[in-house]
Amino acid sequence: MKKRERLYFALGGFGIGVLLMAVVWLCVSLMHNKNAAVSADKAPSENPSGSLNLSQSTTGVQTEGADPTEVRTDGIEPTENRTEVSSKTEASSTPEKTEEAAETVGHSTEAPKPTQKPTEAPKPPTAPTENQNPPGGNGSTEAPAPSSGTWDRNAVYVGGDIVSYDGKQYRAKWWTQGETPGSSDVWENLGIVSGEAKPPEAVENVPIDSSKPQNTELTDFKVVGYYPSWQADKLNFVDFGVLTHVCYAFAIPTSDGGLRDLENPATARALIDSAHSNGAKVLISIGGWSYNDTPLEGVFMEATSSDAKVKKFAESILAMCDKYGFDGVDMDWEHPRTDGTSAKQYEALMLYLSEKLHAKGKLLTAAVLSGATADGNIYYDAAAHTNAVLNAVDFINVMAYDGGDGERHSQYDFAVNCGKYWKDTRGLPAYKVVLGVPFYARPSWAGYGTILENVPDAYGKDHVSYNGMEAYYNGIDTIAKKTRYAKENLGGIMIWELTQDSTDKSKSLLQTIGKNAE
């Protein structure tokens, strides 16, 4: 082959190689672009429900202190978990089931969700954007921000939000929109009045009688103590000389309008003898919160469900009072309600008892709700103790404790709020308002005496920790301060309950009350 021919052949081969490389590169490029286009078509910019994709900027609603690893309460879920969570939501068609589902995955690891997912996470009020659709809405506006005032059907609320509706305050347990407070389990009734207090249903409103009785014993400062029937061996433990009235707790009602046999009747008789020898009167307390762990509110309702049963129930109480020689009756119905017929039934029973007992020269008192909260709000059902009942009783024992666990249990300001509600808001004369104090702690429920056995210097405090427990209670300084407040502004001090005191008289709460009540 000639030299020129070899050169042409080499150049041709080089050109063909370059052309082949160009073709390969072009094919690779076309294939890459095609795959990219297919991937772009398959990549979702929105999830199937219409919510924004997690890669987009969203603002979730999260309560203060919430764990950032918790599932969001705004309805947006990771794509890979959507099927699993949806199945749980569908299985949780009622609030009760939703709570059970939440418990199975640990504490607050998954917030209960509505059966219909929102189309976008709730946001603080901002200018509407293209994809901001409220759950169940028409897609034209953003979901309204939660309101701290009156409930709004169109607003979105999350757990902890508080609203007012129909004269009451409610707190949301979890995410909700459009579910009416009072008719859905998503709302917790706080029992607090919103706005003007609503009068009880089917009860006539009468003015409070503020006149003073001729019996000066009722206007004198009272020290009332509850003695539990189950503490049969602690009578010698109590200094009855400090007390003016003792309530033997409890006689238990039955649904047919009767009473169960009195527990430890020998103790009741011995108590009456000891109290009378010290100049104190003894009342039989009817009811209490529960019997054998079953709340008694329903029993009271059944026992007073007709005029005939009211009379039978009252006569059963009067018969027990006469049988043992009690000086009167303390009604501990916990507690009549403003809604429904509860207040009317309670009033009918109390008016009947008042007429019969006072005709015999005996007393009628009532244990009542605190009336106000530790924050000064008014309890909705306090109005169920109607003005007619307040006029009919000789005095009320205000349960100014159990305001909550911890320091809210029974601090001084809470006691003052309670006294002001019954005296100022309801208009009762001061001598009728007896302020309750606890001889026990919360949340441990330990008695004051038990606390001192474990922490000897606890008498000068209101809070101690021992054996891994927290104990919030009233030490001698707080009890003295409350007694002085009651002495100056109200009609007395009430104690729940006497056997929880310390046996050391120098640290005794009852002795502290006695000294400050003089």
Residue ranges of the chain assigned to CATH 3.20.20.80: 216-517
The arrangement of secondary structure in 216-517, i.e. its CATH architecture, is Alpha-Beta Barrel (3.20)
Q: Tokens 């969570």 sit at which residue?
A: 85
pLDDT at 193: 67
Q: Which residues pair with 165 in a beta bridge?
A: 168
DSSP, residue by residue, 205-264: ------PPPS-HHHHS-EEEEEEETT-TT-GGGS-TTS-SEEEEEEEPB-TTS-BPPPSS
- Please state which CATH number belongs to domain 108-196: 2.10.10.20
Residue ranges of the chain assigned to CATH 2.10.10.20: 108-196
pLDDT at 212: 85
Sign, CA dihedral 129-133-137-138, equals positive
pLDDT in tens, 371-420: 999 888 999 999 999 999 999 999 999 999 999 989 999 999 999 999 99
Q: Tokens 């043992």 sit at which residue?
A: 324
pLDDT at 65: 37
Q: Tokens 């707190």 sit at which residue?
A: 171
Taking each helix axis from N to C end, the angle separating 82-91 and 95-104, rounded to the nearest 10 degrees, works out to 140
Tens-of-pLDDT digits for all 518 residues of the chain? Answer: 555 666 556 666 666 766 667 666 666 555 544 444 444 443 333 333 333 332 333 333 333 333 333 333 333 333 333 333 333 333 333 333 333 333 333 333 233 333 333 333 333 333 333 333 333 333 333 333 444 588 888 888 888 888 888 777 888 888 888 888 887 787 888 777 666 666 777 788 899 998 888 788 889 999 999 999 999 999 999 999 999 999 999 999 999 999 999 999 999 999 999 999 999 999 999 999 999 999 999 999 999 999 999 999 999 999 999 999 999 999 999 999 999 999 999 999 999 999 999 999 999 999 999 999 988 899 999 999 999 999 999 999 999 999 998 999 999 999 999 999 999 999 999 999 999 999 999 999 999 999 999 999 999 999 999 889 899 999 999 999 999 999 999 999 999 999 999 999 999 999 999 999 99
Q: How many helices (H) and strands (E) does the chain have?
A: 13, 18
pLDDT in tens, 206-235: 999 988 887 888 899 999 999 999 999 999
Max CA-CA distance within the chain?
148
Please state the pTM of the whole predicted model.
0.69
Alpha carbons 15 and 22: distance in angstroms, whole number: 11
Cα separation values, 501 from 3, 178, 388, Å: 124, 51, 35
